[in-house]
Copies of this chain bind each other. A is one copy, B any other.
């Protein structure tokens, strides 16, 4: 059984891992959501005996293997559970898509924390307003436009980012779009009108039976204003 460690009160970066585990129907424990879970998580980050300590959650434990960095975890899970192509070129391309999504996630986070993660949003609202404007006007269209072009160019059709089957990149694009729709509903709706295949992929992933069951379950936390994607109306323009 996999052990996933991530902050228990938010979707955050851990959600990208959860979606792949759920689609794979892979048994996992969401450790930090259990009793004394955060203590157990922090122990891995502070314990002297840990040879490969994570810099930050999420991390995944499986037997003796301890893997951190969201995209790295998905690289591992994708190969094990058929959520990535078997060929080297296909694996690298899927990973490249994921890494680009992680860049988008980091930029989305920084809209409400442009000055620093050691300060609250309320301490950087002025800077956040400027950063969010740039994110809405320049970055959301650029990122979603790029993913649209990837879908259009897929020789197996625009239903998936890579080849003709679902990969972790599809699941992650769903999550990124879900987060953007929550945090920036107006700006994201505008961008999605110009990226219909991205919008269709988001809907198709949400309708996949295992993903739908997960999204309808209590395991799926709602988005909130402690997470990466936060809805502050003043930042949506």
- Within 8 Å of chain B (Cβ to Cβ): is A115? yes
Q: How far is the CA of A99 from the CA of B65 in the complex (A)?
A: 17
A34-61: CB near B (< 8 Å → 1, else 0) gives 0000000000000010111111000000
Q: How large is the interface on A (under 10, 10 to 19, 20 to 34, 35 or more residues)?
A: 35 or more
Q: Interface SS of chain A: helix, strand, loop or mixed?
A: helix
Which chain B positions have C-beta within 8 A of A12?
none
Copies of this chain, tallied across the complex: 2
Contact status of A95 and B69, CB under 8 A, knowing A130-B124, A130-B127 = yes
Determine, out of A148-156, A171-179, A187-195, A201-209, the stretch whose residues face the partner at the interface: A148-156
Which chain B positions have C-beta within 8 A of A131?
114-116, 127
- Within 8 Å of chain B (Cβ to Cβ): is A146? yes
User: Which one of B117, B134, B149 contacts A115 once the chains associate, using CB atoms below 8 Å?
Assistant: B134
Determine, out of A70-78, A215-223, A226-234, the stretch whose residues face the partner at the interface: A70-78
User: Which one of B100, B117, B130 contacts A55 once the chains associate, using CB atoms below 8 Å?
Assistant: B100
